Amino acid sequence: MNLILILGFMLLAIGFWGMLTQKNMIKIVIGLTIAEVGVQIIMISIGYIKERTAPILDSAVPLADAVNKVVDPIPQALVLTAIVIGVAVNALILSFIIRLYKEKKSLSIDDYKEMKW
Amino acid sequence: MTDVFIIVLGLVMIVFAILALYLKDLVASVIAAGVLSLFASILYLIMQAPDVAMTEAAIGAGLLTMIFLLAIKKTKQIEDPND
Amino acid sequence: MIKKIFSLIIIAGLLTVFIPIILNFSFQTDLPDVAKSYVEKGSKDLGAMNIVTAIIVTFRGLDTLGEVAVLFIAATGIAVLFRKNAINDKRPKQISKRDSSEILLTGIRLLAPVILIFGIYIFLNGHLSPGGGFQGGAVIATVVLLLFLSDSSYKINHKIFGFIESFSGVSYVIIGFLGLVLMGADNFLDNRILPLGEFGTILSAGAIPIIYTLVGLKVGTELASVLDNMKGDIE
Name chain C's partners: 3 or more CB pairs within 8 A.
Answer: A, B
Q: pLDDT at position B82, please?
A: 57
Q: Is residue C207 part of a domain?
A: yes
Q: Directed axis angle between helix C158-183 and helix C61-81, to 10°?
A: 160
Confidence of residue C88 (pLDDT cuts 50, 70, 90): low
Alpha-carbon gap, residue C216 to C210, rounded angstroms = 10
ipTM of the complex: 0.88
Residue C235 in 3-state DSSP?
coil
- Say yes or no: A98 contacts chain C, CB-CB below 8 A: yes
User: What residue spans define the domains of chain B?
Assistant: 2-74
- Say yes or no: C71 contacts chain B, CB-CB below 8 A: no
Q: Is residue C18 part of a domain?
A: no
Which residue from C53, B24, C196, C7 is spatially nearest to A54, judged by alpha carbons? C53
Using a CB-CB cut-off of 8 Å, the residues of chain C touching B63 are: 138, 141-142, 145, 223, 227
Tell me, what DSSP letter sits at residue C5? H
Tell me, what DSSP letter sits at residue C201? S
Residue among A1, A44, A56 minimizing CB distance to B52: A44
- Say yes or no: A115 contacts chain B, CB-CB below 8 A: no
CATH number at residue A73: 1.10.287.3510
Q: Is residue C179 part of a domain?
A: yes
- β-strand partners of A112: none
Task: Report the domain count for chain A.
Answer: 1
Asked if the model's pLDDT at residue B42 lies above 50, the reply is yes
Percent of chain B clearing pLDDT 90 (strictly above) = 33
How many CA atoms lie less than 13 Å away from B11 in the CB half-sphere?
5
Q: Is residue A86 part of a domain?
A: yes
Which residues touch A42 (CB under 8 Å, ≥6 apart)? A5, A8, A9, A12
Q: Is residue C112 part of a domain?
A: yes
Give, rounded to a whole angstrom, the gap between the first and last alpha carbons of chain A.
47
pLDDT tens digit string along C144-171?
888 888 877 777 788 888 888 889 888 8
Segments forming the whole domain that contains residue C192 = 62-83+100-235
The alpha carbon of A1 is separated from its chain's Cα centroid by a whole number of angstroms, namely 22
- Say yes or no: B74 contacts chain C, CB-CB below 8 A: yes
Asked if the model's pLDDT at residue B52 lies above 80, the reply is yes
Q: pLDDT at position A30, please?
A: 92
Name chain A's partners: 3 or more CB pairs within 8 A.
Answer: B, C
Q: pLDDT at position C89, please?
A: 53
Which residue from A25, A32, A19, A28 is spatially nearest to A105, judged by alpha carbons? A25
Residue among B36, B48, B68 minimizing CB distance to A34: B36
Q: Is residue A88 part of a domain?
A: yes
Percent of chain B clearing pLDDT 70 (strictly above) = 94
Q: Is residue C178 part of a domain?
A: yes
Q: Is residue C139 part of a domain?
A: yes
Contact B75 A97 (CB under 8 A): yes
**CB of A107 closer than 8 Å to CB of A25:** yes
pLDDT tens digit string along C166-208?
898 888 888 888 878 777 767 777 777 777 777 777 777 778 8
Task: Report the domain count for chain C.
Answer: 1
Q: pLDDT at position C92, please?
A: 52
Q: Is residue A117 part of a domain?
A: no
Asked if the model's pLDDT at residue A31 lies above 70, the reply is yes
**CB of C122 closer than 8 Å to CB of C132:** yes
Segments forming the whole domain that contains residue A32 = 3-111
